[in-house]
Amino acid sequence: MTSYLSSIEPLNGTNYPNWYNQVQVAIAMCEYDLALREDKPVEPTGGNVDRTSIEKWERCDGMANMIIKQMMLAAIHGVIPDKDRAGKELTAKAYLAKVQENFKSSSKTYASTLIMKMLTPQYNGQSGIREHIMSMCDMENKLKTLDMSISDGFLVHFIMTSLPPQYSPFKISYNT
């Protein structure tokens, strides 16, 4: 688990989508995702109560918060508030929502970059054609995670237009 955590590139402003997915996986692998999946249990009233579920949730929340904050550059961590308006510590779920709110515009920039990469690539012949097509499909999947899906027809069109003239027979065969 430690090696996985150390392999996560800290949030630096340009890697938000990948960072978010990797942090979610890390929290789930450590079994602290309870705090992300569920709200804090209601404090029971009465004299002799079992606080086990609340203590478990609080531990998960604290550990998830530490993992999230550890996986970002200090400059970014300093920009995102730790506490709500009342001065109460944010839960891991609320803190992740604040991070997402801060990086929505950078996600749009990332999506624009991916779209431009899909529109302008040309197969260079260095790698295999399969790797080129897989790279284009990977870009399409990344766009889908940003709520900017591309239809299969457009994806095929982008792939076909990225192929050099020596693949004309392949293009003709596909079109027929």
Alpha helices in 30-128 (DSSP H): 34-37, 52-70, 74-79, 92-119
Share of the chain above pLDDT 70, in %: 94
Please provide the average confidence, as pLDDT, over all residues in the chain.
84
- Stretch 131-144: mean pLDDT, rounded? 85
List the chain domain ranges: 1-103, 121-176
Decide if pLDDT at 147 tops 80: no
Decide if pLDDT at 154 tops 70: yes
Q: How far apart are CA 75 and CA 55, in angstroms?
A: 31
14-29 pLDDT, tens digit each: 788 788 889 999 999 9
Q: How far apart are CA 87 and CA 62, in angstroms?
A: 17
Residue with tokens 């009342």: 86
Q: Which distant-in-sequence residues (6+ apart) come within 8 Å of 10 by Cβ? A: 19, 71, 72, 73
92-102 pLDDT, tens digit each: 999 998 888 88
- Residue that wins the pLDDT comparison between 106 and 96: 96
